[in-house]
Amino acid sequence: MGKFSSFISGILVPLVFLLSSCQNKNQVVVYTSVDQVFSEPVLKDFEIKTGIRVRAVYDTEETKSTGVMNRLIAEKDNPQCDVFWSGDPVRNGVLQSKGITFPFQSVQTNLIGEAFKDPENHWIGFSARARVLIYNKNMTSSDSLPKSVLDFSNPSYRGQFTIANPLFGTTTFHLAAIFTLLGDEKAKYWMDSIKQNGVIIAASNGDVKRKVMNGEIAFGLTDTDDAFEAMKESDAVGFVFIDLEETGIGTLIMPNAVSLIKGAPHSENAKKLIDYLISQETESKLAVSCAQMPLIAGVKVPENVPSLENIRPMKIDYKSVSGKLEDIQPWLKSWLEK
């Protein structure tokens, strides 16, 4: 029996190791800052379609976009992740500047317009959101809302509005874009003005949504996906696009962005996942689940999904905004602590 057991063990141990190795190869690791409720179904569909197992790491609501980005920076010399799927391109730009992403181009990436991808293909955009004002109809009317974020400093809005924590998520992206357009001096003056005007700092975009829905605050700055979710949950909620005037700074358009990680352990599977994300199928799913606006022509969307054709976009260079985001972090922290 001893010899027989040794013989069986001699067969089983290598077999188990081989199976484990095959399973490890047939997978892809993705870090994402996109809300799990929206990103997970897309990743599950990819698993079903390809047979490739997806191991996903999600950000928390409070550290949106920052948690997984910092993890990727910490893992630079020993990459554990294959694909970074962000809710905006700014974090991808930060990772690119640190040598963490790797250029990738395929037939699918050619479907995306030049304005929404990195010229060197370190990130590719798809399915966009926009920054909007969400408001409580019982507390104010759409006609009474600011026409621009720059109007937040108007004394008539004192203590009536909220923004998410400026150190995280799309709020940081929006502020970095404003700093890029206005210049540091004017942007800092504007931020100091809204603080003096009683801006309420919410924990996150989701918290902005809750405060407005519950009637704690009249209006707040958030993203289209949160606005649509709020309108599903409450008839008292509406939203408007801002900064649409020709003389204004424009509405911030925020495409999802996906990057291949340099030294990705499963690079071939990573490329397959990136191609799946940059597809009409994925854009259609995100239009239905969270009202995101497709960047690929011909995608069918629900009637309530706005068209980019009717929005005047903020004219920004996403790479410059990525650099500005890092530059202003210390100042934003001190502003928050004042």
Highest mean pLDDT (candidates 18-27, 46-55, 60-69, 112-121) = 46-55
Per-residue pLDDT tens over the stretch 185-237: 999 999 999 999 999 999 999 999 999 999 999 999 999 989 999 999 999 99
pLDDT of 59: 82
What are the backbone dihedrals phi and psi of residue 29, each rounded to the nearest 5 degrees, phi first? -105, 125
Domains of the chain: 2-128+254-305 (3.40.190.10), 129-252+327-337 (3.40.190.10)
Residues forming a β-bridge with 241: 132
Task: Give residue 27's pLDDT band: very low, low, confident or very high (50, 70, 90).
Answer: very high
φ, ψ at 30 (rounded to 5°): -125, 130
Please say whether the dihedral angle defined by the alpha carbons of residues 313, 318, 320 and 322, taken in this order, is positive or negative. positive
pLDDT given at position 13: 44
Expressed in angstroms, the distance from the first to the final Cα of the chain is 76
Q: What is the DSSP-derived secondary structure letter of residue 176?
A: H
As a whole number, mean pLDDT of residues 317-332 equals 92
- The model's pTM is 0.81
Mean pLDDT of the 75-92 span: 95
The per-residue pLDDT for 9 is 47
Report how far Cα 332 is from the mean position of its chain's Cα atoms.
20
Residue 15's pLDDT band, with cuts at 50, 70 and 90, is: very low
The answer on pLDDT for 7 being more than 60 is no
Task: Write the secondary structure of 161-204 as one string of H (helix), E (strand) and C (coil).
Answer: EEEECCCCHHHHHHHHHHHHHHCHHHHHHHHHHHHHCCCEEECC
d(C-alpha 178, C-alpha 183), whole Å: 8
- Residue 61 confidence (pLDDT): 52
Q: Residue range 142-153: average pLDDT?
A: 96
Structure-block tokens of residue 234: 């409450």
Mean pLDDT of 273-293: 95
Higher pLDDT among residues 205 and 65, named by residue: 205
The pLDDT of residue 90: 87
Question: Is 162 within 8 Å of 212 (Cβ atoms)?
Answer: yes
